[in-house]
A = this chain, B = another copy of it.
């Protein structure tokens, strides 16, 4: 039997609140998703004005970052044409997102979940995701 740690809903709300504060600061309404360490959705918010496809993209960025245990943009580098993971973006029914905005949450060296953000540029999405993680780790 394994024993493991995962984000709870209160953690997810701290992640989302931190991300939303940054999204408001930079003036870009975002879709923000949090998954647990098993890649299952914990919480989601679409800020007023955020984009519709970003609902799915935010959820899947979070899924991907939980799953690969790395920020999604690292998969982007590894999946360029000619690189070892080329083609991974269409696996798992297209749920593997390979651009910036999905970031795992690491506690005591283990992955406990991830946050995924979408609706701005990938750089903005990543900035907002990282603000969420910073908010959570400060409260721990």
A: residues with CB less than 8 A from B are 1-9, 11-12, 36, 38-48, 51-57, 60, 63-64, 66-69, 76, 79-82, 84-100, 107, 112, 121-123
Q: Is A84 a contact of B123 with CB atoms below 8 Å?
A: yes
22 example contacts (A-B, Cβ-Cβ < 8 A) are as follows A1-B5, A1-B8, A2-B7, A9-B47, A12-B45, A38-B39, A51-B69, A52-B66, A53-B68, A53-B91, A54-B67, A56-B91, A56-B92, A57-B92, A76-B86, A81-B81, A84-B99, A84-B100, A86-B98, A86-B99, A89-B91, A91-B97
* CA of A95 to CA of B53, assembled, Å: 9
Known contacts A9-B46, A39-B52; A122/B85 CB under 8 A: yes
